[in-house]
Amino acid sequence: MLRVSKLTDYATEVMAALAAAPARVHSAQELAERVRLEVPTVSKLLKQLAQAGLVESFRGVNGGYRLARDPARISVADIVTAMEGPIGMTECSAQAGLCDHESHCGVRVNWQRINDAIAGALAGVTLADMLGPALRRKPSIPLRVANG
């Protein structure tokens, strides 16, 4: 099954909590309470998000974290990449030259198309979108529900 890690899911929740009041500085404790996670987990997420340039950290008595830019300018792809590295369905769709089979692979170009579609879908949803109600627009990628 294809899915993001729990930490990426949690990071998205933390980012959404920050986006609810983007100008304010939030403590890790406050964010942990809001998203119902342990403080060490939230602190770990915030450190990684700060290293990726998605959040800013402030030290001191009134220190904490806030978004580094407007929620409408942060995509879900930015968060996934910050937490998991480059988006790639296969090794070669994330970075060329990692597979010995690459030069004679008959499906590589199609995996790349799939990878581009998924990356595009993640880039097309912003953190601001994640705050609102579910998208009502028709998705650009048809979604199919498996029977069973």
Express each pLDDT in 35-58 by its tens digit. Answer: 999 999 999 999 999 999 999 999
**What is the per-residue DSSP string for 74-114?**
-BHHHHHHHHH-S--SSHHHHSTTS-TTGGG-SSHHHHHHH
Q: Chain-wide mean pLDDT for the chain?
A: 87
> Do residues 72 and 78 make contact, with C-beta atoms less than 8 angstroms apart?
no
Could you say which DSSP state residue 147 is in?
P
What token pair was written down for 105?
């692979």
* pLDDT digits (tens), the chain, 148 positions: 678 899 999 999 999 999 999 999 999 999 999 999 999 999 999 999 999 999 999 998 889 999 999 999 999 999 999 999 988 887 776 666 667 777 777 887 888 889 899 999 999 999 999 997 665 555 555 555 555 5
What pLDDT was estimated at residue 137? 56
Domain chopping of the chain, boundaries: 6-131
Among 82, 22, 13, smallest CA distance to 42 is for 13
CA pair distance 136, 79, nearest whole angstrom: 23
> Do residues 53 and 73 make contact, with C-beta atoms less than 8 angstroms apart?
no
What residues form DSSP beta bridges with 69?
A: none
Give the architecture-level CATH label for domain 6-131: Orthogonal Bundle (1.10)
